[in-house]
Chain A
Amino acid sequence: MTSIRKNKFFMAILYILVFFMLAEWLTPVIVLTETGHQALFLIFIAGGLLMAFLRVPWWFSGPIKVLYILWFVVYVYTGNVFFTGEAIQFLQSNVSMNFSALISQNWEQTTDVFRTILFFVLLWMAIYLIHYWVSFRSSIFLFYILTVVFIAVLDTFSPYSGETAIVRIMIIGLLLAGLLYLVRWMESHQISEHADKVALFTVPLVLGIAVSTAFALYLPKSDPIWPDPVPFLTSFSGQGGPGSGGNVGRIGYGVDDSRLGGSFIGDDTPVFRAEVSEGQYWKVESKDTYTTKGWELTENVGESVIYRNNETVDTEFVLGEELETTVVSMEQEFPFVLYPYGTESFSMEESPEYQYSSADQRFETYQNGEELEPEEYEVSFAEPSYSLKTLRQTSEEELQELPMEFDRYVQLPDELPERVRDLAAEITANSETVYDQALAIERYFNTAEFTYSQTDIPIPKEDEDYVDQFLFETKRGYCDNFSTSMVVLLRSLDIPARWVKGFNEGELIDSQGETDIYEVTNNNAHSWVEAYMPGVGWMLFEPTIGFTGSSSIDFDLELDPTDPEQPDPQERPEAQEPESAEDEEVVVSSQTAFWNRLTDYISTNRWKLVWTFIVLGVIGAILFKIRHRWMPKFLISYYRMRGQEPVQFEKAYLRLLKQLELYGIHRKSGQTLKSYAAYIDSFFGTREMSELTAAYERMIYGGDAESIDWHELKESWENLINRTSG
């Protein structure tokens, strides 16, 4: 009996799965401790597992691992790729340093090198443990459960997002557990390794996991029934500011802004590249309704306009004078175009319909009635320029005369605390014009004691207001906090304002003459403010400290150069720019966006889908019920394709038995094949069944497979199996 453990291929698959499982452990540790060199750690794990798999003796694998660890230390801490004299010296000094630190019990004096080596030793032990579990115990369940718990805990209590990791772990873990169960089962039943039997088990296993995973992903997920434990725990332990705590999200462009707040970790996945003469803010859409927790869009307002390639579009902004063209190459899939301020027209190869919705100023792209995710497109735009002179004439009186459709831009929730309104009035006490008021609010965040931060940002509780919390309590936050606050402050003064989402200019990665190439990543997801200046139009404002977006102002005033009010675009504080000059929104990466669209699709076409399933189910049931009618045709061509080996005859014969059973000729438990065959032959008036049975018996009971001429017998077999379809 050859055990399945002897099957190198099978065991290799197990070890590969184990590798991925260990990698899931390593990744969060590396990410959270900002360790770096993940690839080198993975190589160590892979190498360790490979040697365990090949059963390399310990006296050989041990020194190799030690050498690798030393090389890693030398490479990472000294930059030497080889063991040079310097490297040896480095190692020596480290050994003596750490040794003396240990002897004198000065634990904190041990160096990073020592800790790195300890970490490697830990990995080494983990590899050995897993190897033992897989190869000797054939049981991985405990490790599997521990992994799930580990990732779940990290996902809850740390910035690490286990969203996709947990799915991967479930799949890998189920596969591993299933395959190892197969090993145990086959061994306990003394079943030797046989490709057919293994397939009989693994195919349903893989299918089952695939189907259940797909189902789990497709199905809509309910919100957690328990509140997030982190805010509770941090408030309990006295950490964080008032109302501190909140979810840690990953940065990126998202669609759901109904609940703002929470912390972020960066994500430098590229979103698009733009060839442009100068960095631009890329608008996606705006939202108009503030809910005290976040932003929503009023339904059924505005209208849709459909534009074609190169058709002049109206984005409610006055175009500037210098028209230029930018090429945008998308790296993620969005069913809309991102556009800079002053956009004049779009053009792309697919020549889609650009459906502009005045409700949120989004340009959705459609082709043949279906959403199109642009890959590359050109935008002609002329950055708007505003006359300072005109801006200085914007008066509050004009605000009263604005038409009805501006109402939604001055909406504020009734629950808005009064001190927010008071603050707005206070900030703008000395401002004469609407533009000055807006400018004062924009600058307020620079002057007051606000700090830019992506971490430890609370999500407002049920009775708290997002803006109020930021303006009066935490005073720390990122773009959403600043932009939302500015919109609310403007609105409290009856200045129409809206909250705009998109991406900031991104990172300059290359320059070709006049044209610069900017790469915009998820880190560049951003939000800012558009305010309506009566008599001028909509205008961009950037309240978030450290960000450089602004409207271009035409200094057409003859002013006293000492006038302190003189706006100077240069005064924007570049120095304060946070290290990663970017901001973020609640996560919805492009993958989750895909699933969202899918769930949308499912919910809109629910009945269609249900009926499709019912019809398919009924057809399937009927086909199954009458399978003895069509099965023979299928079986005949199937076994024609198969080889002439006796083993095929064996399978075919057993198939025939099943077919006859389906046909209704039942073989009793104690009936021998020979007597059954005699009955079949008398029933059909044939003698083929006896002929086949004699051959089959010779093969099974006589162990004489060589004498079977399946080619000869096939005609008889086909003849019989055809009769069963009657």
Chain B
Amino acid sequence: MNAKERLEKVIDNIEKVIIGKRDIAELSIVAMLSHGHVLLEDVPGVGKTMLVRALAKSVGADFKRIQFTPDLLPSDVIGVSIYNPKDMEFHFRPGPIMGNIILADEINRTSPKTQSSLLEAMEEASVTIDGVTMQIPKPFFVMATQNPIEYEGTYPLPEAQLDRFLLKIKMGYPSSREEMEVLNRAQVAAPIEELTSVISLEELLELQAQVRTIKVDETIRSYIVDLSRQTRQDAYVYLGVSPRGSIALMKASQAYALLKGRDYVTPDDVQYLAKFVFGHRIMLRSEARYDGITVEEITERILAKTHVPVQRFVGK
């Protein structure tokens, strides 16, 4: 069974519980395959938690959930060392972060201090407590959700923190037909309970390794760089896409190509993923808000005007 078939099975499995969100499932897998994390931005109740749980179950991964609240402390996330008077030593009690697939729910409801403890763990894939560094088991995949920042009582994530997420995805409401199907299934039983794993964790690690072998041609690399540079030059943009963003786009494209059963990246992969990679990495000037320009529009515009390489580089 090749990579594509295996991954399709995972997606099919997720689709059993999440109706009509195949693209979201695909993107989640793309992020997971390229060692990235996902920021889901949407209102409550559209199935964010369900998506993560379905994903965790499908790959047989350890699923943990952290509900972020304003009073949550960093130790509640990463764990704490407790003094055991019996053997007179500190014992580490791991926090919920020490899992394979983490759902960080409503991440913008907690204080920046706690947010950053999560984000540091995401970046390093390890936590350090009292000078002891502990590796988080692999695979490690965080799916954070946040309410749209206009909601009251939120702490917006700083720009640098947002950069840590590979993709930012919006779930969106299902269509009426899909929603009826949701109701239909919910009436019988909670379908999530019936899900079984379709690939093992080892297979997932193997697929992650395979992503790195996907060929990114020089033309594609230059295309990615062109796109990133364009975001930095746009008049409406206050902060453009960083080189880390370029890397993210390349890695995500590689994973997406694997998902589509190709061993090379095409400009279509890049274009498709650019919207999700750039969305949270571009900060607009206030003029943009007055003119009603959104980040999505800026990205679209840059994609439309940046020349797609259709020929081999001279001298190859």
Q: Which residues of A contact B (CB under 8 A)?
A: 1, 189-192, 194, 197, 650, 654, 657, 668-675, 697-698, 700-704
Extra inter-chain contacts (5) besides given A672-B268, A674-B267, CB under 8 Å: A669-B304, A670-B303, A672-B266, A674-B268, A697-B266
Which residues does chain B contribute within 8 Å of A671, judged by CB atoms? 308
Instruction: Please name 12 pairs of A and B residues whose Cβ atoms are closer than 8 Å in the assembled complex, sorted by A.
Output: A191-B314, A191-B315, A669-B306, A669-B308, A670-B306, A672-B268, A697-B264, A700-B312, A701-B220, A701-B265, A702-B217, A702-B264
> In the complex, what residue of chain B is closest to A704 when comparing beta carbons?
B264
Which residues does chain B contribute within 8 Å of A657, judged by CB atoms? 310
B264 touches A670 (CB 8 A): no
A192 touches B308 (CB 8 A): no
Q: Which of B215, B305, B310, B312 has the most CB of A within 10 A?
A: B310
Which residues does chain A contribute within 8 Å of B310, judged by CB atoms? 654, 657, 673, 700
B307 touches A670 (CB 8 A): yes
Q: A669-B305, A702-B217 are in contact. Are A190 and B268 (CB under 8 A)?
A: no
B315 touches A702 (CB 8 A): no
Which residues does chain B contribute within 8 Å of A670, judged by CB atoms? 271, 303-308
Q: Quick one: which of B219, B303, B315 contacts A701, CB cutoff 8 A?
A: B219
| A650, B310: Cα distance in complex, Å | 11
Which residues does chain A contribute within 8 Å of B264, judged by CB atoms? 697-698, 701-704
User: Closest approach, in angstroms, between the C-beta of B138 and any C-beta of chain A?
Assistant: 29
| A239, B262: Cα distance in complex, Å | 89
| A675, B312: Cα distance in complex, Å | 19
Which residues does chain A contribute within 8 Å of B268, judged by CB atoms? 672, 674-675
B271 touches A702 (CB 8 A): no
> In the complex, what residue of chain B is closest to A670 when comparing beta carbons?
B304
User: Closest approach, in angstroms, between the C-beta of B11 and any C-beta of chain A?
Assistant: 21
B230-245 residues at the A interface, CB under 8 angstroms = none
Which residues does chain B contribute within 8 Å of A704, judged by CB atoms? 264
User: Closest approach, in angstroms, between the C-beta of B301 and any C-beta of chain A?
Assistant: 9
Decide if B15 is an interface residue (CB 8 Å cutoff). no
In the complex, the 3 A-B pairs of residues with the closest C-beta atoms, listed nearest first:
A702-B264, A670-B304, A672-B267
B315 touches A194 (CB 8 A): yes
Which residues does chain B contribute within 8 Å of A673, judged by CB atoms? 267, 308, 310
Which residues does chain A contribute within 8 Å of B311, judged by CB atoms? 654, 700
> In the complex, what residue of chain A is closest to B310 when comparing beta carbons?
A673
Which residues does chain B contribute within 8 Å of A189, judged by CB atoms? 314
Decide if B263 is an interface residue (CB 8 Å cutoff). yes
A669 touches B267 (CB 8 A): no
| A698, B304: Cα distance in complex, Å | 23
Which residues does chain B contribute within 8 Å of A698, judged by CB atoms? 264
| A657, B263: Cα distance in complex, Å | 25
User: Closest approach, in angstroms, between the C-beta of A495 and any C-beta of chain B?
Assistant: 81
Which residues does chain B contribute within 8 Å of A701, judged by CB atoms? 215, 217, 219-220, 264-267
B307 touches A674 (CB 8 A): no
Count of chain B residues with a beta carbon within 8 Å of a chain A beta carbon: 23
B218-259 residues at the A interface, CB under 8 angstroms = 219-220
A668 touches B304 (CB 8 A): yes
A703 touches B304 (CB 8 A): no
> In the complex, what residue of chain A is closest to B265 when comparing beta carbons?
A701
Which residues does chain B contribute within 8 Å of A1, judged by CB atoms? 315
Which residues does chain B contribute within 8 Å of A191, judged by CB atoms? 314-315
User: Closest approach, in angstroms, between the C-beta of B249 and any C-beta of chain A?
Assistant: 15
B217 touches A674 (CB 8 A): no
> In the complex, what residue of chain A is closest to B309 when comparing beta carbons?
A700
B173-198 residues at the A interface, CB under 8 angstroms = none
Which residues does chain A contribute within 8 Å of B306, judged by CB atoms? 669-670
| A675, B304: Cα distance in complex, Å | 12
Which residues does chain A contribute within 8 Å of B265, judged by CB atoms? 701
| A194, B312: Cα distance in complex, Å | 13
User: Closest approach, in angstroms, between the C-beta of A646 and any C-beta of chain B?
Assistant: 11
User: Closest approach, in angstroms, between the C-beta of B231 and any C-beta of chain A?
Assistant: 14
- Mask, B31-61, CB within 8 Å of A = 1, is 0000000000000000000000000000000
> In the complex, what residue of chain B is closest to A673 when comparing beta carbons?
B310
A650 touches B312 (CB 8 A): yes
B314 touches A703 (CB 8 A): no
| A31, B195: Cα distance in complex, Å | 100
- Mask, B289-310, CB within 8 Å of A = 1, is 0000000000000011111101
B304 touches A192 (CB 8 A): no
A672 touches B271 (CB 8 A): yes
> In the complex, what residue of chain B is closest to A194 when comparing beta carbons?
B315
User: Closest approach, in angstroms, between the C-beta of B217 and any C-beta of chain A?
Assistant: 5
> In the complex, what residue of chain A is closest to B227 when comparing beta carbons?
A670
Which residues does chain A contribute within 8 Å of B303, judged by CB atoms? 670
Q: Quick one: which of A197, A669, A702, A703 contacts B307, CB cutoff 8 A?
A: A669
Which residues does chain A contribute within 8 Å of B312, judged by CB atoms? 650, 700
B315 touches A700 (CB 8 A): no
User: Closest approach, in angstroms, between the C-beta of B16 and any C-beta of chain A?
Assistant: 30
| A669, B307: Cα distance in complex, Å | 5
A700 touches B308 (CB 8 A): no
User: Closest approach, in angstroms, between the C-beta of A217 and any C-beta of chain B?
Assistant: 37
> In the complex, what residue of chain A is closest to B301 when comparing beta carbons?
A670
User: Closest approach, in angstroms, between the C-beta of B219 and any C-beta of chain A?
Assistant: 7
Which residues does chain B contribute within 8 Å of A675, judged by CB atoms? 268
- Mask, B253-293, CB within 8 Å of A = 1, is 00000000011111110010000000000000000000000
Q: A190-B315, A191-B314, A673-B310 are in contact. Are A700 and B304 (CB under 8 A)?
A: no
User: Closest approach, in angstroms, between the C-beta of A185 and any C-beta of chain B?
Assistant: 12
